[in-house]
Structure 1
């Protein structure tokens, strides 16, 4: 039996904080326990610790009885890194399987929609860390003050986020276990975990920098070419409703159309046409949520002349039709 559930339904099942939990678990003042609903799995819980405002650490143990598919819609995304001590999480098309020797590191920005699959009769444990972009720049202002590649890759807003899948080294695995089994309590534990989380983030940044398999596409592009591709991206953000052709865009930024198309896919993991579609649909959702408009007016405003094509593209991204969005319906995932 496979259970398919939307992200909104999943969130509703988790709204109620657990009041009854294993009394052997010691809870810190900055810690909350969320028990997984029994309709989703045999047992399990997530320990959520707010290390500082803007940095959340989840330590989880889940035991899935049946296969589950979670439908996640397009959504704003913080900086995130995930390590699984046991088990695997599968994805359809967009990501590789997480677990084993593969971890996950994502910058902030907009996440595309995806299907997240949990296998039957599987025990999953690990840690999941979320960092708000403003907190990272508070801690490391150089990310904003310099033209570092990290700043461009990890600090995005209304753009598709960048994801990496660093190999889990023995040192990373050791730190994950130190986080799960932190030997302190109170403020000492909070300070200890803050340090371990930042150490783990540093190791993942280092893995990305040194692993040519992670950056092989970027390493083939000259810095000047990368800057011109980012310029092309900026142009699309201002002209998505009536964008230039690929040839015109390439001429504007001073590179060949072939280099632009190849580099755009390497930097943003999508085609130029795919990126324009993303920008249009993302803007359409904002306009529809504001109300005081019609679906046809929104379609025309973002550059769609065919209402059916607009509706189909919108539903692919958000799981609901433009009319349902205008009426205030939440995403199905």
Structure 2
């Protein structure tokens, strides 16, 4: 049986928690009846850098709607076992996060839907970086070598959401094993784990730079063109009821149609109008959760002329039709 929960539901379900804190380490275990058992270990290593190990064992299928927006952070997540499917609304299509893969992300202002399968044991190692703290001692030339979305956060510029998934290399696996089998305790453990975390970040930056070199032949990687692609996204999202055609959109932002189509997919991982479609559905979900509008009104507000098509698209994305979701949200209030 599939269960659907929001962040608020999830917090209320955590009935039995075992919490331990020792020095720089924190361990938390949760038993959530009929849903899952979780284990979380976290260590604050230095200013702006923490390392954690997460394990989840599912008892029933679960759809988790992450609707609580976190403060801006950058993360590196390495998957050791299991699989979860996640959609970052307005940023990516559904992606499978499974053993042997890792992702880097900037999750600012992004909501997620997660699909978990019963019988799976999921585990990962996660590095959390708070850019302004972590990079505060870096010089201007050093900052030129880090990804632009991190650079924007350090210098206080406009932060853009970001997601990239890659394969865990052999070098990365060695470091991950070192973390799991750390032979030290106390201060030496903290110093050792920090050195391993820094090596993972170094290996990621190396991959990122190699990818940048590979992509330099693609014009949309130029910052000016990337800005225009973000401008195109803003135009789409401000015209939900009557969006421009792709040709009109390209003309408005000063790109040709081919460059806009290819650039949009490279920056956001999907086509312009799939991005718009997903955003409309996410906006509809938010309006239904508020409970202030009828289903028909919500459909029109986000740009769906056909109620039947809206219901079908909403059910395909969230597992419930709009009326069922509305009723679920009202019961939760």
Task: State whether TM-score is above 0.5.
Answer: yes
Cα distance between partner residues in 2 of 1:305 and 1:96: 32
- Aligned-residue offset at 1:300: 2.3
CA deviation vs aligned residue, 1:42-64 (integer Å, no higher than 9, x gap)? x8733234557976533246678
Cα distance between partner residues in 2 of 1:84 and 1:106: 14
Q: Which residue of 2 aligns with 1:58?
A: 52
Q: Secondary structure at the match of 1:242?
A: coil
Q: Is the 8 A contact 1:229 1:260 kept in 2?
A: yes
Cα distance between partner residues in 2 of 1:253 and 1:260: 9
Cα distance between partner residues in 1 of 2:275 and 2:287: 19
Q: Relative to 1, partners in 2 of residues 1:184 and 1:7: Cα closer, same or farther, differing over 3 Å? A: farther
Q: Which residue of 1 aligns with 2:106?
A: 107
Cα distance between partner residues in 1 of 2:290 and 2:252: 34
Residue 151 of structure 2 corresponds to residue 150 of structure 1: no
Higher relative contact order (Cα pairs below 8 Å, separated by 6+ residues): 1
Cα distance between partner residues in 2 of 1:165 and 1:53: 26
Equivalent residue in structure 1 for 2:83, among 85, 89, 99: 89
Aligned ranges 1:152-231 → 2 under 5 Å: 161-170=162-171, 172-183=172-183, 185=185, 189-190=189-190, 193-194=193-194, 196-211=196-211, 219-222=217-220, 223=222, 224-231=224-231
Residue 71 of structure 2 corresponds to residue 71 of structure 1: no
Cα distance between partner residues in 2 of 1:84 and 1:130: 15
Q: Secondary structure at the match of 1:57?
A: strand
Aligned ranges 1:166-315 → 2 under 5 Å: 166-170=167-171, 172-183=172-183, 185=185, 189-190=189-190, 193-194=193-194, 196-211=196-211, 219-222=217-220, 223=222, 224-315=224-315
Q: Is the 8 A contact 2:14 2:32 kept in 1?
A: yes
Q: Is the 8 A contact 2:27 2:39 kept in 1?
A: no
> How many residue pairs align between the two structures?
311
Q: Secondary structure at the match of 2:115?
A: strand
Structure number with the higher strand fraction is: 2
Q: Is the 8 A contact 1:14 1:36 kept in 2?
A: yes
Q: Is the 8 A contact 2:76 2:127 kept in 1?
A: yes
Gaps of 5+ in 1: none
CA deviation vs aligned residue, 1:210-245 (integer Å, no higher than 9, x gap)? 147xx8567523414333222212222322332111
Q: Secondary structure at the match of 2:75?
A: strand
- Aligned-residue offset at 1:37: 5.8
CA deviation vs aligned residue, 1:246-291 (integer Å, no higher than 9, x gap)? 1100111122222211221122111111111222222233333334
Q: Is the 8 A contact 1:88 1:119 kept in 2?
A: no
Gaps of 5+ in 2: 87-92
CA deviation vs aligned residue, 1:130-158 (integer Å, no higher than 9, x gap)? 45xxx32343378xx98975318997999
Q: Which moved more, 1:70-79 or 1:290-299?
A: 70-79
Q: CA RMSD in A?
A: 4.4
- Aligned-residue offset at 1:27: 4.5
Q: Is the 8 A contact 2:31 2:38 kept in 1?
A: yes
Q: Secondary structure at the match of 2:16?
A: coil
Equivalent residue in structure 1 for 2:39, among 42, 45, 50: 45
- Aligned-residue offset at 1:97: 5.6
Cα distance between partner residues in 1 of 2:242 and 2:235: 11
Q: Relative to 1, partners in 2 of residues 1:186 and 1:157: Cα closer, same or farther, differing over 3 Å? A: farther
Cα distance between partner residues in 2 of 1:149 and 1:165: 15
Q: Which moved more, 1:201-210 or 1:173-182?
A: 173-182
Equivalent residue in structure 1 for 2:135, among 106, 122, 140: 140
Q: Is the 8 A contact 2:16 2:31 kept in 1?
A: no
CA deviation vs aligned residue, 1:55-87 (integer Å, no higher than 9, x gap)? 6533246678x8x754344655753322245x3
